[in-house]
Amino acid sequence: MIEHLSDLDATAQADLVRRGEVTPLELVEAAITRIERLNPRLNAVIHEHYDRARAEARGTLPDGPFRGVPFLLKDLAGGHAAGDPYHWGTRFLRDAGYRHRTNAYLVDKFRRAGVVIVGRTNVPELGAWATTESDAYGPSRNPWSLEHASGGSSGGAAAAVASGMVPAAHASDGGGSIRNPASQCGIIGLKPSRGRISLGPDIGEAWAGMAFEFAVTRSVRDTAAFLDAVEGAMPGDPYEAARPLRPYVCEVGAPTGRLRIGLLGNHGAEVHADCIAAVDVAARRLAALGHEVDESYPEALADDDLGYHAITVVAASQAHLVEELGRLIGRTIGAEDMDQDNWAITELGRNVTNIAYLDALHAMNGFRRRVASWWADGHDLLLTPTLTAPPPRLGEHRPIPGKPLEAWTRTGALLRFTIPFNVTGQPAISLPLHWNQDGLPIGIQLVAGFGSEDVLLRVAAQLEADGAWRNRRPPIHA
């Protein structure tokens, strides 16, 4: 049984514990063995908490739905835990040996669900890139091809789950950072609705509400069960999504009815043929399942000004973050402490005026209303590519010496289909429905109306049952 654990999702592993067929310690030891064997090639896990995990697994764990299941946290805000390293992919926090002082509410909820945290995953510097290749910790590699990126900023988490190190891992999303690495690594990545999962207690909102927390998984039922475990606003949160009418796990396998699904393959962006092919595959499958699929989408998604306004907010937020991180270690952070593009964005943010920031918020609020009206007019879901291109090779999205912000521009182009729904706050999921001729996974994105994760999960479960992605394993796998 132990040798086959890497083929089981978190729900199945927890079932083994409940039935007494394995112990939490056996699950944890098996995960540690897998990480030690695979991580030298993938560089997905950067902080190991093995001794603590073993002690927790031997002790009394909460009797949650994932009791004893090994789990990884992402080394960014939202995944911070008291006493753990907290480095944001930066050399300056790494060199200071900084450890955080508090637990995120989300971490507490994961632990109450019964998971055992065995380590922390690799991220890009300041979580700012669509690829996980920081100067501090090096590149996280894609288990489908070691020459390709695993995505960002949850690249380490996605590589760890796709390779079978752990069945699920914490992830976060400020412009696609759950869905992008899920697409690049061939797993499932749900960005929930704004206010569905608390960012507290240290954070109220991040990037003016564009940042979200959750997880990446290998099965729809795991996505639903983890969402049940961690959803719900906490006292003082600035946003609160309406609570679901029933547990999300009840949506897996539930009837969907005939849904009206819009299709957007391209809206002025350069979209690779492989990504168009993935959408075509998804559209045919959805139509075969009885849904109405038409080439319709919110016209506001063609708004070229959205990127400018989003960058204004992100740059100002990053400038504030760098000041905050400097206070944590007691010194000023300068250009020599980070890559050239992150420094350029930080400098840009320091020069954003109050008026420019409020103009950006006003524009994004208007965009949100225009997009939401399309769902109000009768559509249930929107189908798009997750990304505009297949997984890039390592180095293609790294900052280029002497060409400030060129890599940042490439990142924005790759995430053309994900960023808008960080602005609107709607739930969106990336599903691994297609692989190209090079054997690389190509995700598709489904977007629902605000608060409608239940609809996403029902349709995702339909596609999972209709397809064979759960049986596909990358060349680098436990």
pLDDT per residue over 7-44, tens digit each?
999 999 999 999 999 999 999 999 999 999 999 999 99
Show the tokens assigned to 161.
Answer: 């789950």
What is the pLDDT confidence band of residue 293, given thresholds at 50, 70 and 90? Answer: very high
Position 1 scores a pLDDT of 59
pLDDT at 239 over 90: yes
What mean pLDDT do residues 448-453 have? 98
Name the residue with tokens 């029902």: 458
Position 267 scores a pLDDT of 63
Domain map of the chain by residue range?
Answer: 2-297+380-471
What mean pLDDT do residues 465-476 have? 88
Mean pLDDT of the chain: 96
Establish whether 153 is a catalytic residue. yes
Specify the pairing of strand 45-48 against strand 70-74.
Answer: unpaired
pLDDT at 313 over 70: yes
Taken in order 361, 366, 371, 373, the sign of the CA dihedral is positive
Establish whether 172 is a catalytic residue. no
What mean pLDDT do residues 418-422 have? 98
Q: Can you name the residues that pair with 382 across neighbouring β-strands?
A: 262, 447
pLDDT above 90: percentage of residues in the chain: 94
What is the pLDDT confidence band of residue 408, given thresholds at 50, 70 and 90? Answer: confident
Report the distance separating Cα 23 and Cα 18, nearest Å.
Answer: 9
Show the tokens assigned to 187.
Answer: 């797993």
Spell out the alpha helix ranges (H) of 113-203. 155-162, 179-185
CATH 3.40.50.2300 fits 2-297+380-471, yes or no: no
Q: Using DSSP, state whether 70 is helix, strand or coil.
A: strand
pLDDT at 265 over 90: no
Q: Helices then strands (H, E): number in the chain?
A: 15, 15
In degrees and rounded to multiples of 5, residue 51 shows phi and psi of: -65, -40
> pLDDT (tens digit, 9 = 90+) per residue, 86-138?
999 999 999 999 999 999 999 999 999 999 999 999 999 999 999 999 999 99
What do you get for the CA distance between the two ends of the chain, in Å? 14
Q: CB neighbours of 151 closer than 8 A, spacing ≥ 6?
A: 130, 131, 132, 142, 158, 177, 180, 181, 182, 183, 184, 185, 391
What is the pLDDT confidence band of residue 56, given thresholds at 50, 70 and 90? Answer: very high
Compute the CA torsion angle 314, 320, 324, 326 (nearest 10 deg): 100
Position 329 scores a pLDDT of 98
Report the distance separating Cα 399 and Cα 453, nearest Å.
Answer: 36
What is the pLDDT confidence band of residue 264, given thresholds at 50, 70 and 90? Answer: very high
Type of residue found at 355: I
> pLDDT (tens digit, 9 = 90+) per residue, 323-370?
999 999 999 999 999 999 999 999 999 999 999 999 999 999 999 999
In eight-state DSSP terms, residue 163 is T
Position 326 scores a pLDDT of 98
Establish whether 430 is a catalytic residue. no
> pLDDT (tens digit, 9 = 90+) per residue, 164-176?
999 999 999 999 9
Angstrom CA distances, 468 to 253, 306, 440, 443, stand at 16, 37, 15, 14
> Could you tell me which residue, 282 or 466, shows the higher pLDDT?
282
What is the pLDDT confidence band of residue 236, given thresholds at 50, 70 and 90? Answer: very high
- Catalytic residue among 6, 74, 140, 193, which? 74
pLDDT at 189 over 90: yes
Show the tokens assigned to 393.
Answer: 């090779």
- Catalytic residue among 6, 140, 150, 153, which? 153
What mean pLDDT do residues 196-212 have? 97
Report the distance separating Cα 312 and Cα 360, nearest Å.
Answer: 7
Position 268 scores a pLDDT of 61
pLDDT at 467 over 80: no
- Catalytic residue among 145, 172, 177, 452, which? 177
pLDDT at 238 over 70: yes
